[in-house]
Chain A
Amino acid sequence: MEPGFDGYGGGGVGMGFGLEEIHGVVAVDRPEKQGSSSSFTALLELSTPQAVELLVKEDLTDKSIRPPFFPCDASLIDRASKFSVFASTDNSLENNAVLSGLSLEMVKQEPLDSNSYRNSSSHSSKRKQGEKQVKDSNKRIKKDEAIDERGEKLPYVHVRARRGQATDSHSLAERARREKINARMKLLQELVPGCNKISGTALVLDEIINHVQALQRQVEFLSMTLASIDPGIDFNLDCLLAPEIGTSINHSHSGLFPPAVWLENALNSSRHHQYQQPWHFDLHHHHHPSLDKEEDLSTPNFSIPENSLLSYGSPAISASRHSNGLKTEV
């Protein structure tokens, strides 16, 4: 044991150990540290002058006494190596050694890292740190290649938890999901008019739902109106591309259509009924919900009873009826 440690200690400030040395260290340490659960306590299992020598030779700052080994915790290394980004070699021991080497590098490079200090002092928190680092390496890898001075192209994952937030993997995932949902809600808010001023998810969702229902009611109403027009009209795209819309009201026509303003008022003011799943259409069910809604409006003259619709065979008669009903309104 001692020559191994001496060799390690003589390696200078941190960077001098080769793979074989670490290999030796790990191989040597493992049979020793069967019973210990923490490398810190493992350190304590050394005789005191050896431990002191070790620590002193590592040239750590006076702020912290940190155990130089992560490799003593074999299970941690095993798990970390499984998730390791650079797990290219099959030899798990080498992997462990490499990972431990990098961990040591991290320790040496950041002596003021209070996180690692706190975490390294207890076994469970060290596990967490390892897990967190490893898991974050899967999520977002910050390549810290300045640390790597020995030319090994191995990225080291160094992630800090945000201030005041939990570092749990579950809460990280939840946070990401919440952010996604908030981004989508913002898009929806921009789409639906009048939602920008509302704050709070529930109210915004309410507005959105109302908007969708209003749009679907509009589709119903427009389709009913379209169905009642004279079939003799020839539609072509040119009239659609014409920009003027509201000026066409004055023409007398067999199929009289309400002015655009009236249409808008009729459609937008009725929010009394909830109409779920209007896209469940089938021809057998003669369902005219828009008619029911129109009766609740402030324009009662527009109510066309459903039986009258069904009883009229020829569309022309029904259209004229329709126009008569509308004329009283206009």
Chain B
Amino acid sequence: MIISSYQYPCNLQKKPSSMKLRLASRFLRAIRRIRRISHRADRCQAIRAAAYTSMACVAGSSRAWSRALLRKIGDSRRVTVSSCGNRNPITRSGLENRLRGLVPGGDEMSDVKLLEEAVHFIKCLKAQVDVMKKILMCSSM
């Protein structure tokens, strides 16, 4: 896995374009490295991994979902795990389970926290998609 070695706190109060810039720079660095892989399917996998990795790195350790992602990648050095227990483990409706499956690290979150993390995750995901689209468009020029 290609992991950029730069930690950046994702602050959503700043202009969203700053987050996109950070995403873009990290992602491009990863893509440049990925291009050396010959096999196309491997490249596809690697690019997708790089997308999620750059999202997680830009979000930093301040978010539970990014921590979960980084942990999954195997980045145990930089992830500071602050574990506060699950406060409402009882109510797990069917809908929420789907959301838990979608948001990384959602299994261990309480309901309230799940919604918070979902908000941030959706924002980062949207930014990442926009960056990738722009890359595509620019590269076709």
Q: Which chain A residues have a beta carbon within 8 Å of chain B's beta carbons?
A: 177, 180-181, 184-185, 187-188, 191-192, 202, 205-206, 208-209, 211-213, 215-216, 218-220, 222-229, 231, 233, 235, 237, 239-240, 242, 245-246, 248-249, 251, 253, 255-257, 260, 263, 276-281, 283, 286-288, 309-310, 312-313, 315, 318
Contacts and interface: CB of A to CB of B under 8 A. Distances in A.
Contact of A211 (B45, B52, B88, B122): B122
Interface residues of B, number: 60
24 contacts: A181-B112, A184-B116, A185-B115, A188-B119, A191-B123, A192-B122, A209-B102, A212-B122, A219-B125, A223-B48, A226-B135, A227-B43, A227-B47, A228-B44, A235-B28, A235-B139, A246-B137, A248-B137, A253-B140, A281-B49, A283-B42, A283-B49, A288-B44, A315-B40
Contacts of A278: 48
A276 B88 contact: no
A290 to B, nearest CB: 9
B96 interface: yes
Contacts of A224: 44, 47-48
Interface string B65-103: 000010010000000000000001000000110110111
B25 interface: yes
B28 A237 contact: yes
Contact of B133 (A213, A222, A315): A222
A248 B140 CA distance: 7
B118 A188 contact: yes
A321 to B, nearest CB: 11
A219 B138 contact: no
A98 B84 CA distance: 38
B73 to A, nearest CB: 9
A222 B132 contact: yes
Contacts of A318: 40
Given A226-B135, A228-B40, A277-B101, A184 B115 contact: yes
A223 B51 contact: yes
Contacts of B131: 240
Contact of A225 (B52, B116, B128, B136): B136
Given A188-B119, A219-B128, A315-B40, A281 B135 contact: no
Q: Chain B interface mostly helix, strand, loop or mixed?
A: helix
Interface string B34-74: 11101111111111111110000000000000000100100
A-B interface, 7 closest residue pairs, ranked by CB to CB distance from nearest: A184-B115, A239-B138, A227-B44, A223-B47, A257-B140, A223-B48, A227-B43
B44 A212 contact: no
Given A235-B139, A255-B140, A315-B43, 6 more contacts: A184-B115, A209-B99, A223-B50, A240-B135, A242-B138, A276-B102
Contact of B52 (A260, A281, A312): A281
Contacts of A286: 41, 45
Given A222-B132, A263-B133, A310-B41, A279 B104 contact: yes
Given A227-B47, A279-B72, A184 B119 contact: yes
Most A CB atoms within 10 A — which of B38, B112, B118, B135?
A: B118
Contacts of B112: 177, 180-181, 184
A223 B133 contact: no
Interface string B9-23: 000000000000100
Contacts of B136: 222, 225-226, 229, 257, 263
B31 interface: yes
Contacts of B47: 223-224, 226-227
